[in-house]
Structure 1
């Protein structure tokens, strides 16, 4: 509404070439309360003033000499974009009134003036002008609002279409689609118009009843709904897994809208499935892994009583797989495992389970009524499958398997025990010569328990210093003098007494403790050599045995050097003995380590020579000082011509290579005589001395006792040129 104050403060311009008319009108208006009244007698300035002041009313005389009122109106028209001239013309000529109205004037005043008519027309025109201006301002505001809303809607639409998520707008009352974004069209493979023609239930968003119930719940809660996973239906009837959330949009005087945002979770679900598969299936063979195998077995055990079924668990380990893998490489080894897995699958029924337990170990679950189970036949099938050579890119590999069998409910009634017992039986089959199978028996478990107890006790033995060294003297055959000693490991086990290595060395090797124990033996031997040097016994050369794993799993040269320095022992007093197998297990690394040891001044001997590779080639490659003839050849050296010939050949070969020879296990005078006449350099064995404690060894050294060497020149001359021949049997 236009107020009285608005009218009295309206800007008014009086234009007349007669000053008296100007003064009259100006006085009339100002005396009536108008506050913003301006006047001019020069019509030429009107257009410029109006452009600057934007007058609400111009009282314009039409008859002026320099510029008529018609010309003034023509100049004002360009300034009013809507062609609404705020002009009230003053004239005494009737024909000018019509012309003025045609040119845009709003009204006219006739001369002479009637004050009441003047004020009335001015007020009416001001109300119209101010109202027009207000309407114009209001319309401009509406247009601005429309533009802003349009831009906002465009931004909303752009945002909706830009997101990869699908957005669905539903009428909350009818649960019908009212709008969707481009993401929804892409996700469900529809055009927008096609998608809007579908029902929410057809797309999988929910039934009308469920959606209206959701609307009511959202109105109460006032917060978005919890995300839910469901599947939407594409136009090609392919289901799309999505994560969907709803929100209720409530606006004054407008229908409520249910807004749903759906995110495609196909990749996430696929990743979850892949993770689940990785967690339960072996990546190399595609078979169930240990986790899934146990779960399957547990389920089978639960169902077995109801279905009156028997369960057979087979544990299968490939024999010699490590040798094939090391020789041909891991890629060929992996291919072999894949091929074996495929063959194994062909040996069982579809309802049976094949799993890979890790490495070269596999397992089977066979379940059926007892009378229908034939585990031995399955074993034969597996062994037959292995007998066919494996083709590995130009290489052929032939393997066998050791198989252990445990049965439910005969052997155990839980999955863990069944697998454990089958594993125990497999180990027994492997120990019995490989390529065989064993059924589990209770006695096997007792043996395994004893072995585990032995392993725990050995770890404790190392920590509690229960290990000790005995020393078996070695003597020179040419002089009979003491040549040194071999350090032999013993275990003073509480409640058991003194335990010999034959009873526990295999456990040390299987568990890897042999590396720690081997380092302890080297240090303990050096400590004792140092004590003998310092307490007057004198220098004693001591040989210690080194396991193959010490060359691979530790810095053997550093361990030896540290022990020598710690106890102040000259390197020439420490001798290392290693087997042929230890030499060849990692020959290049072994050569490097032996070269370091030789550079320190140590002597190296091959223990149990003749039982392994016994190759001249490796004797030339490795930096070796001595050979030890294995006791197996010494034992029957005087009764078995073959053993005698082998011993003599070893001695001759070693001497030709500038190596010394030691015979171990010498127990009789006849053995001694034969070895002496065969020019063996040293012996050790019960004939001279059993293994001694460090104290007894010190006493022996201090006594100066040696082997009685009846090697007089005349006696030697009386002997035949050739060594004494062994007795024939």
Structure 2
């Protein structure tokens, strides 16, 4: 254990000459250093102790005006140290302020039970602490000198910033000192002969009378607070009753308006969203935790609705930071009006829930509803609020249309904890299911959680298997319709995972796009396909173009042109043997890196095909401007081409216009001879599908080089 002698080297040289001596007890060296700097700057002399035993040793040999004591320390904690200090002080009323990181009733009660004078919660606000220390030390001086009214009270007042009222046993004012320090309106009637309690307003009388009665019963100092409004300005006066001599009492008053305003500002900075004034994430977590505990005690339930905007940040470029603040305020206003309007309309027999609106982050807002007996109206409320939010906001001549998704979670289906409920809304928002009402309202349940966990597992395994290169390529042949000769093939990725078995591309490709794995997957596909083209060439098989499906994300990268050029040159592959299949939407945009990259790739000799044509923008007029060589008629038209005149007409139009702009037209998804014949009749150039050949592994595909066809 450290001794006073060993600690003394850490004390500032001027500590012993300062007016007020403080003992700081904390096991954290950094906290002690910050404390010493802050309090020394405020004019206090500071002595440090790193544990309770050292503090007691200092107290045995030195006098201190106040003690700042950490509640949580190893060994002997602050509560036990406080008890021993009170025993050692033997009735001396040195103020002991307990510093605790837990601002709850249990910690507060424990602090006062062990003899603490006051408590403060971490993180520490040194301006407030210095105010409290001055007040407590001043009050301590008052109590020590009560027996000598004249000299002793006069001496005390010289070091105190408080106003003093001298009261008799009935509360009648017998004398005043430094009355000018109180607000004018509040002090106007505080003259000798008036009863102090008759001066107060009705709201303050009960509180002050209770403190007076307690102080008379215990003969201890008892504090109270009085709020006073003057000229539309709120004043807060803090007071305490102190037993005096010969049946008289001291009422010490201090205008704490600036201090309480500072505390209010500190609270708002810590717990309020700066842009909107509603609760921020910190207050949301604290308030939600309190409500969940209350609901457990009252056997009621809590639900939260989380609204998430997908494109909110995109508006900053046009409306600026000031506009973003106004946009956030408009969003909150819509939530507040919509929520209040709906809750007002609830039936009389329905318990009106307690509610809170909070801003979780820039794009996410949360509505908390607690004290619920049922959740029957939650989805209706979420839909109503979502409809309000989805209406465009007219802001400074800019129209902001925002896409919102709502996630609902409640304490019946989700874990009844703060993190559990918020995580459940995230599960709901990022799921792929939606209500049929046209609005994106998702509700959490156990099935949804299972699906999301399954997707997470797929993502984990996909990431691993892409890195290990274990995914395989299958190839589907393409045939010329005039003589059914092999003219090419499409490379298709297949994944047979060791743990989950076969996983459809329709399942894992969207997960790859959402998780950012799509570029790595696309790299793997390109490398495997180029290797296979070179291998078939070296084995002497017929060289025909191979199509590779490229995602828009990969096509927008800066390096795709050089990657393909290097891969083709390294393997000495003619560029015309490589064909990239891209979606119609990428082609129609006509902007961005993708369109430029396609033009450069075509200049290299690589062919470009528009996949699933007719299912996207379906405009034939733009075909002449697209960097493409081939149109693929979507299987949805092919499958009904023999039975649906509309599908036949669309297929005929695609073939005709495609030929007019010198594009090769291929139909995919051919499954019957009737479909094959109809496409030949319409003049389609080539086909692929289960009727002519299913996708197979590279080993099995060699039969198509040898003349196999009509594998259906």
Identify the residue that residue 407 of structure 1 maps to in structure 2.
410
Post-superposition shift, 1:449? 1.6
More deviation in 333-342 or 305-314? 333-342
Equivalent residues in 2 for 1:211-226, closer than 5 Å:
none
Equivalent residues in 2 for 1:636-675, closer than 5 Å:
636-675=640-679
Identify the residue that residue 451 of structure 2 maps to in structure 1.
447
Given candidates 458, 469, 475, the residue that maps to 1:471 is 475
* Distance in 1, Cα, partners of 2:709 & 2:140: 108
* Distance in 1, Cα, partners of 2:607 & 2:395: 43
Given candidates 352, 356, 359, the residue that maps to 2:355 is 352
Post-superposition shift, 1:487? 0.5
* Distance in 1, Cα, partners of 2:414 & 2:558: 42
Post-superposition shift, 1:517? 0.5
Identify the residue that residue 382 of structure 2 maps to in structure 1.
379
Identify the residue that residue 621 of structure 1 maps to in structure 2.
625
* Distance in 1, Cα, partners of 2:313 & 2:485: 45
Identify the residue that residue 725 of structure 1 maps to in structure 2.
none
Given candidates 548, 564, 571, the residue that maps to 1:567 is 571
More deviation in 499-508 or 405-414? 405-414
More deviation in 632-641 or 424-433? 424-433
Post-superposition shift, 1:679? 1.5
Asked whether the 8 Å contact 2:302–2:368 carries over to 1, the reply is yes
Q: 1:494 to 1:707 in 2, by over 3 A?
A: closer
Asked whether the 8 Å contact 2:534–2:573 carries over to 1, the reply is yes
Asked whether the 8 Å contact 2:386–2:406 carries over to 1, the reply is no
Q: 1:415 to 1:529 in 2, by over 3 A?
A: same
Identify the residue that residue 41 of structure 1 maps to in structure 2.
none
* Distance in 2, Cα, partners of 1:338 & 1:658: 55
Identify the residue that residue 704 of structure 1 maps to in structure 2.
707
List alignment gaps of at least 5 residues for structure 2.
1-40, 46-64, 66-130, 145-160, 164-177, 184-232, 235-257, 341-352
Q: Deviations over 1:68-95 (max 9, x none)?
A: xxxxxxxxxxxxxxxxxxxxxxxxxxxx
Post-superposition shift, 1:585? 5.5
Q: Deviations over 1:105-146 (max 9, x none)?
A: xxxxxxxxxxxxxxxxxxxxxxxxxxxxxxxxxxxxxxxxxx
Q: 1:460 to 1:528 in 2, by over 3 A?
A: same
Asked whether the 8 Å contact 1:383–1:401 carries over to 2, the reply is yes
* Distance in 2, Cα, partners of 1:687 & 1:657: 29
Post-superposition shift, 1:655? 1.0
Post-superposition shift, 1:298? 2.0
* Distance in 2, Cα, partners of 1:270 & 1:559: 60
Residue 484 (structure 1) aligned with residue 488 (structure 2) = yes
* Distance in 1, Cα, partners of 2:320 & 2:547: 38
* Distance in 1, Cα, partners of 2:508 & 2:490: 19
Normalising to structure 2: TM-score of the pair? 0.58
2:597 is paired with a residue of what secondary structure? helix
Equivalent residues in 2 for 1:686-705, closer than 5 Å:
686-701=690-705, 703-705=706-708
* Distance in 1, Cα, partners of 2:587 & 2:313: 16
Residue 422 (structure 1) aligned with residue 413 (structure 2) = no
Given candidates 529, 536, 542, the residue that maps to 2:546 is 542
Q: Deviations over 1:359-414 (max 9, x none)?
A: 64322111124269943453254145236442134454556744332222553221
Q: 1:208 to 1:479 in 2, by over 3 A?
A: closer
Residue 297 (structure 1) aligned with residue 288 (structure 2) = yes
Asked whether the 8 Å contact 2:356–2:368 carries over to 1, the reply is yes
* Distance in 2, Cα, partners of 1:572 & 1:490: 25
Post-superposition shift, 1:431? 3.6
Q: 1:321 to 1:655 in 2, by over 3 A?
A: same
Asked whether the 8 Å contact 2:355–2:369 carries over to 1, the reply is yes
Given candidates 457, 463, 466, the residue that maps to 2:461 is 457
Post-superposition shift, 1:577? 0.6
Q: 1:585 to 1:231 in 2, by over 3 A?
A: farther
Q: 1:616 to 1:644 in 2, by over 3 A?
A: closer
Q: 1:518 to 1:273 in 2, by over 3 A?
A: farther
Identify the residue that residue 333 of structure 2 maps to in structure 1.
342
Q: 1:574 to 1:372 in 2, by over 3 A?
A: closer
Q: Deviations over 1:412-460 (max 9, x none)?
A: 2212222222333344585445505344322222212211111111112
More deviation in 576-585 or 644-653? 576-585
Asked whether the 8 Å contact 2:339–2:385 carries over to 1, the reply is no
Q: 1:329 to 1:625 in 2, by over 3 A?
A: farther
* Distance in 2, Cα, partners of 1:386 & 1:636: 41
Identify the residue that residue 313 of structure 1 maps to in structure 2.
304
Aligned residues: CA RMSD: 4.3
Q: Which runs of 4+ in 1 moved over 6 A?
A: 165-169, 200-203, 230-239, 269-274, 276-279, 326-334
Post-superposition shift, 1:638? 0.8
